[in-house]
Amino acid sequence: MPVSEETFSPVALATMPQEPQQTDFQLVRVKSTWYRIKKGEALSDGEDKITLSEAKISDTQSTKEQYSDFKPCFLILARGECISDGGISWTIEAPIYFCYKVVETYNILDPSNTTLLWGHITDPQQLELATSSKRKLRRFIVIDEVVDELYGSKVREYFEENNVQHKILALPTTEETKSMDLVLNILQEVQNFSIDRRTEPIIAIGGGVCLDIVGLAASLYRRRTPYIRVPTTLLSYVDASVGAKNGVNFLQCKNKLGGYTPPVASFLDRSFIQSIPRRHISNGLGEILKMALMKHKGLFDLLKTHGKYLLDTKFQSYSGSADRGDAALQTTRIAIETMLEELAPNLWEDDLDRLVDFGHLISPELEMRVLPSLMHGEAVNIDMAFMTYVAHVRGLITTEEKEQIIQCMRGLELPVWHSGCSWPLIKRALMERLKHSGGPPRMPLPTGLGVAEIFNDTSEETLERAYKLWVRDCKTMLEEEPAAL
């Protein structure tokens, strides 16, 4: 087959072309070796085991003038030859492909339910090989220590009944302990267990903090070890479990260290949610409301109509709830589907214009400042309540829409104001946002119920006016009807 075998040799500056010359190459693997061929060049029919990559390399030979400000230098190439300061630059385009599953299941800890063992495998042939293998299964599991108290015996029974060699590491996974120290603790235990990073995914069972910490640990071990998420709170069920992000807090800043490595699978079992306190249900509803306000009026209507019922029933489905159309199932599915619509095309956040950042402009600063008095979804909701007033002051939503939003928040038992969310904190948080948003503030705001846009032109005067109105209304509500916080 034709394979490019260019020989590089020193090029006299006098003979350099006056305009950059670019050549595009495709990457082709023949048997076990990758080669580059010029784009469009035909492949030989006689070759077998050929793989064509989506990645490509472009060579650009530069003119002398482009390097006129540089001292003479030499680039040593792979073949041991060199190019002088007229040099060649290489541009690499390497698409990164990830496939991960988000799977609804029920009774995942029933030993007859094999989702936790094989549910992450997407290829039928790989599944057949895995299930027919004589090799003993091994799994490393990290579980939140509170979840371990509730379900630890069932987790152990599950793996014992399925004859799986396992190690269960129970840890305190809270915002206060969400650190690199805990990540390193996990990695030491993973190393001791000696997992096979290709066939033995690490399993994380817990809330969002647990999933974040384990995700970061897995992404670091051997540069990327597959892992599985099993969320046990409503917040992690609809939020942390469906995306690619992981991370830990650093220097009192929320999620300052982290990366984008999705799990091979997230397994969603709503039966876990029945064991968490009511406040935690409300906490998760904050993130669901975010998606409702940004892009789905139907979801907003569900929350407005069935919010108390969802809190009372802890998102469980009952045979007698047909008149409600299984509000729990509808709510979680719409929340996840709308979240995936926003995340999947922008998994690595190359585009910083993100509707899912609504409620996350001020809340990271607020949450860490008053830790542990506010949970994540509560801090997000306070942020959203303030931004609802910003949208109203800007004329983006009507008074009636603003009141509907605030009333819905209160119906979901979410705080709409907190004394820690002062005007100086808001200004500081928005300045921090500017530092990391590539220039403009990128402020998502509702423009109605279930519709939104991103704005870059909100003045400080508008923000301050909104703040005063928000404090006047929402602080008064809190004083008249003290929250449970």
Q: Catalytic residues, which ones? A: 245
Nearest-5° Cα angle at 463, 298 to 417: 60
Query: Kind of pairing, strands 443-446 and 452-455?
Result: antiparallel
Partner residues linked to 9 by β-bridges? none
DSSP state of 406: H
Contacts of 316 (CB under 8 A, 6+ apart): 270, 271, 273, 274, 328
End-to-end CA distance of the chain: 71
Distance CA 18, CA 106 (A): 67
Residue type, 266: S
Q: How many CB atoms lie within 10 A of CB 54?
A: 10
CA distance linking residue 396 with residue 176, whole number of Å: 38
Closest CA to 420 of 379, 472, 463, 473: 379
Cβ neighbourhood burial of 59 (10 Å; 0-12, 13-18, 19+): middle
CA distance 45 to 35: 16
The neighbouring-strand residues paired with 22 are: 60
From the list 420, 425, 416, 421, the residue with the least C-alpha distance to 479 is 416
Give the dihedral sign, CA 141/145/147/151: positive
Pairing of strands 50-61, 21-30: antiparallel
DSSP per-residue string spanning 416-456: S--TT--HHHHHHHHHHHHHTTTSS--EEEESSSS-EEEES
- What is the gyration radius of the CA atoms in the chain, in angstroms? 27
Phi-psi region of 61 (alpha: psi -120 to 50; beta: other; left: phi over 0): beta
- Residue 372, preceding peptide bond in cis (omega within 30° of 0): yes
Annotate 79-94 with b (16+ C-beta within 10 A) or e (fewer): eeeebbbbbbeeeeee
Distance of CA 32 to the CA centre of its chain: 34
Which tokens belong to 423? 């005007």
